[in-house]
A and B are shown apart, each in its own frame.
Chain A
Amino acid sequence: MAATSLDVRSIDALVEPGRVHRRVYSDPAIFELEMERIFGRAWLFVGHTSQVPNPGDFVTMDLGREPVIFTRHRDGSLKVLQNRCAHRGPKVLNERCGRRNHFTCLYHGWTYDTDGSLVHVPVPEGCSTAFDKRRFGLAQVPRVAEYRGFVFASFATSGPSFDEHIATVRANIDDLVDRAPAGEIAFDAGVHRYVYRGNWKLQVENVLDSYHVPFSHASTVNRKGEQFARREGDATGAKVVEGNKTSGDWTRRKSYTVGRGHGWTSNTALDDGKRASAVFSEYKQVLAERVGAERAEQILTPRLHNTLVYPNASIMGLNIHVRVIKPLAVDLTEVNIYPVRLVGAPDEMNFRNIRLLNVTHAAASFVQSDDLESFTRAQAGLSSLMNDWVDISRGLGVEEPDEACGGMRALATHEMAVRAQYAAWRGYMCEASV
């Protein structure tokens, strides 16, 4: 494998304080090593418990290079199983989701329980006397953990614990889940799926990039410099342009980084006191009945725009959704966007959220489609051999410690968050084993 030719020193040299080498986006050998060292051992977002409410419910997916089954065992526990028959190798489950009492391979009928253990081998007299079913299960991904319905897994048997990984962004998960009057959310409103011909990190970087908005998304901004209304109860969207400049409101926004590649951007001043509609008022009232008026006000005062849970998920506070980033090849990436249903909120509020997400984050949306164009053009431009470096130096050296989050703070139009992602990237990539 080409990956073996990459030693620590050569990987380390690809990331400098304010720039990264174009090979991190374009070199297939780097991609192979990312699959092994990042996706092969980091805590990865898998899905949400609401996708597998009952024993035997399953969702299939690839986590990095590994085809897996996300399911719930008969005892109620969550499992992430290798989706590969222990006998001759076919994928055992072929549908994207469904429910089965047992998982049976199509080829020779080997049958597994919902915890992956092998329970039936047809024509057993063909097995040697030493054959031990216990050695032929669907392997369980070694570490699986959950926080408020968000399920993560790691292929590494050791390394940073889930608590260590998630501690700094727990409050960001709370920020979304607390908006549901029942205190829980559900992924049961379908999914937006898009692909682009570009490296996975282009999407990851973009999630916390506030610099691009007035330019990449110029076609969503009206003559007054305001984006279209993206949220129920808003008369207009954020003011992103003032005259011929990025608006003051937009340039004052902050980004935060907290280590391990995680970070978030703060919200705009869009919200304060302006959000009003019958649907929104009803929702606010339902929430207040559950948690009290003061707490409801607090929950609905937007604090966060996007939160990145490195390396493969983000949570959005404006057009609420959870995004999952799936690298397919060095220059091909799939992204899944799950609308979030706020359990206990009036249907109409959830309907409005789903409807506006169609026009912000579907493949056919007004916002995301121009981002996909950016990613595709970036990948094409990065094939140039005349300039090896990608500049990520905006705001380098002026980041400030932020006591509240325990990390660092910068302007959201700076590139601190990208640099933090590459610090984490380098950590994973340069460590041969954890």
Chain B
Amino acid sequence: MNKPLPDEAVQIGREVAEQFLIHEARLLDERRFRDWMALFTEDGTYWVPAAPDQQSPHSQASLFYDDRELMKTRVDRLEHPLIHVQTPPSRTVHLVSNVTIEPDTGTGEFVVSSNVLMVEYRLDRQRLFAGRQRHRLRYDDSRWLIAEKRVDLVNCDSAFEALAVPI
């Protein structure tokens, strides 16, 4: 799936990584879910485990584990006029901080770790979702794309009221 590395592999700098995360957060906060989905590679996955240190998205239940196909179904639904759990819609603000970049492993992909806080407001109620997130980014056709996004919420194994929007 990975393209062969050019002689001078593209490196990701801190500023570029941060700009990427800020851009992603903005797409989610502006409810541009289809544009958000387009940030993922064709084989990209979005995973929010339902247990701390969850080893596998396959053998264990998760809050979210979408490949592009399920992500599309999710986005179609978020855009559907009769999605009751988003009538009225949530308003969110994502804050991203504590960004670190793991060293290039020679794959041409970089892992960017950060802390995320999503504040969600709907119908007079405000909720907080805090966690550590990990983006595996791949350089493709002169842009960075998400090959894998994992969000480990501090309360991942809690009982949640309905969650409609991605974190």
Partner-B contacts on A (CB < 8 A): 189-197, 216, 218-220, 222, 228, 334, 336-337, 339, 347, 350-351, 354-355, 357-359, 362-364, 366, 368-370, 372-374
A195 touches B160 (CB 8 A): yes
Partner of B60, one of A189, A364, A373: A189
Partner of A358, one of B65, B76, B84: B65
Partner of B59, one of A189, A220, A336: A189
Assess whether B82 is interfacial by the CB under 8 Å rule.
yes
Contacts of B84 in A (CB 8 A): 216, 218-219, 370, 373-374
B159 touches A358 (CB 8 A): no
A364 touches B164 (CB 8 A): yes
A372–B73 Cα distance when bound, in Å, is: 19
Partner-A contacts on B (CB < 8 A): 48, 50-51, 54, 57-66, 70, 73-74, 76-77, 80, 82-85, 87, 157-164
Contacts of A337 in B (CB 8 A): 61
A351 touches B159 (CB 8 A): no
Q: Chain B nearest CB: distance from A353 CB in Å?
A: 10
Contacts of A193 in B (CB 8 A): 50, 157-160
B80 touches A219 (CB 8 A): yes
Q: Chain A nearest CB: distance from B43 CB in Å?
A: 15
Q: Chain A nearest CB: distance from B114 CB in Å?
A: 21
Q: List 20 A-B contacts (CB under 8 A).
A: A189-B61, A190-B61, A192-B50, A193-B157, A193-B158, A219-B77, A220-B77, A334-B159, A336-B159, A354-B61, A358-B64, A359-B70, A364-B64, A364-B160, A364-B162, A366-B74, A369-B162, A369-B164, A372-B85, A373-B162
Contacts of B157 in A (CB 8 A): 193
A218–B62 Cα distance when bound, in Å, is: 24
Known: A359-B74, A366-B77, A369-B162. 17 other contacts (CB 8 A): A189-B60, A190-B51, A191-B50, A194-B162, A195-B159, A218-B84, A219-B82, A334-B159, A336-B159, A347-B59, A355-B57, A358-B64, A363-B162, A364-B160, A369-B85, A369-B164, A370-B83
Residue of B nearest to A367 (CB): B77
Contacts of A364 in B (CB 8 A): 48, 63-64, 160, 162-164
B64 touches A339 (CB 8 A): no
Contacts of B65 in A (CB 8 A): 355, 358
Residue of A nearest to B57 (CB): A355
A336–B159 Cα distance when bound, in Å, is: 8
A190–B77 Cα distance when bound, in Å, is: 26
Known: A228-B73, A364-B48. A358 touches B61 (CB 8 A): yes
| Cβ-closest 8 pairs across A and B | A190-B61, A218-B82, A363-B160, A193-B159, A219-B80, A364-B163, A369-B162, A219-B83
